[in-house]
Homo-oligomer: A and B are copies of this chain.
């Protein structure tokens, strides 16, 4: 779905060729081995082998291939891991396709590219890190299990309305929209155990 949009868009650019896509880290490594692309756009969250591990292996074994990290949310620690794993750029899924092209060209040219909406300065980054309180994280862990506010309240022996407040505050703090996005965020943030 998302990849189709990227493929369509990228195909009209004659300096960029679409070489294929993979649904998981293992297939991605196979693809990189076969096609030796200049640039790989790599989702952080993938089945079989996640984007961080895949990026590590790609930059180690195929140094000519550069990796751009691609994710749903602006999650600082995962970004840091991707950069440590060797990613040369970072864009969000709600970045525009123009921005994507920009990122591909810059990174292909040996530069680095980071989504303008994030990492503008260090202070903003550190704020982003401890954006959730310990208690909110407790609740997020249960959100990650697919539990409702009432169920979470029962587990933690607090009122249902308290859980609602925490959930609301988290949604606001993270700039999300709806329960679904919060759950996805929780899972992407690895609160899922």
Residues of A participating in the B interface, judged by any CB pair closer than 8 Å:
1-3, 23-24, 26, 43, 45-50, 52-53, 72, 141-148, 178-184, 187, 190, 192-193
**A143-B180, A179-B179 are known contacts. Are A48 and B53 too (CB-CB below 8 A)?**
yes
Query: Are A148 and B47 in touch, CB under 8 angstroms?
Result: no
> Which B-chain residue is minimally distant from A143 (CB atoms)?
B180
Query: Are A145 and B184 in touch, CB under 8 angstroms?
Result: yes
26 A-B contacts, Cβ less than 8 Å apart?
Answer: A1-B141, A1-B142, A1-B193, A2-B193, A3-B193, A23-B190, A45-B192, A47-B50, A47-B192, A48-B50, A48-B52, A48-B53, A49-B49, A49-B50, A50-B50, A72-B145, A145-B180, A145-B184, A146-B183, A146-B184, A147-B180, A148-B178, A179-B179, A179-B180, A183-B183, A184-B187
**A146-B178, A148-B178, A178-B148 are known contacts. Are A47 and B190 too (CB-CB below 8 A)?**
yes
